């Protein structure tokens, strides 16, 4: 996002939480990717916890896995929007430690 109107729009939408001084606005794209990955990871953790212990599709909580698509979509969009309100300091820590550790575990699981 190298245009000044785009950077101003991001600052205005995020209520000033995203205020980085990066050359050519490169950091905005990086932090946006980490914010979206964070919201998607958190959403899958929530869904995993909600369906923990479900053995078959006749279980009462199996409807969370097999249905409720509009609620799942709205919930994920809400998490994605809320991720842009979280201050940058959290995502600087998240991208350096949590995301790198998670990526390492993911690669080891794929072996």
What is the rounded CA–CA span in Å between residue 72 and residue 62? 14
Locus of tokens 């209520």: 15
Total-model pTM? 0.67
Mean pLDDT value across residues 3-9? 64
For 15-74, write each residue's pLDDT tens digit.
Answer: 766 665 555 555 556 677 888 888 998 998 998 888 888 888 888 888 888 888 899 899
Which DSSP symbol is given to 27?
H
Taking the C-alpha atoms of residue 37 and residue 32, their distance in angstroms, rounded to an integer, is: 9
Provide the greatest CA pair distance for the chain: 55
Give burial (CB, 10 Å; 0-12/13-18/19+) of 61: exposed
Residues 71-87: b if buried by 16+ CB within 10 A, e if exposed: eeeeebeebbeebbebe
């Amino acid at each position: 996002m190298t245009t000044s109107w785009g950077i101003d729009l991001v600052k205005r939408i995020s209520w000033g939480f995203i205020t980085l001084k990066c050359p050519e606005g490169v950091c905005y794209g990086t932090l946006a990717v980490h914010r979206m990955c964070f919201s998607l990871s958190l959403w899958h953790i929530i869904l995993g916890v909600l369906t923990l212990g479900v053995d078959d599709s006749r279980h009462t909580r199996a409807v969370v896995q097999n249905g409720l698509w509009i609620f799942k979509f709205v919930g994920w969009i809400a998490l994605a929007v809320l991720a842009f309100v979280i201050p940058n300091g959290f995502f600087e820590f998240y991208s350096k430690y949590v995301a790198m550790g998670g990526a390492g575990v993911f690669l080891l699981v794929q072996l």
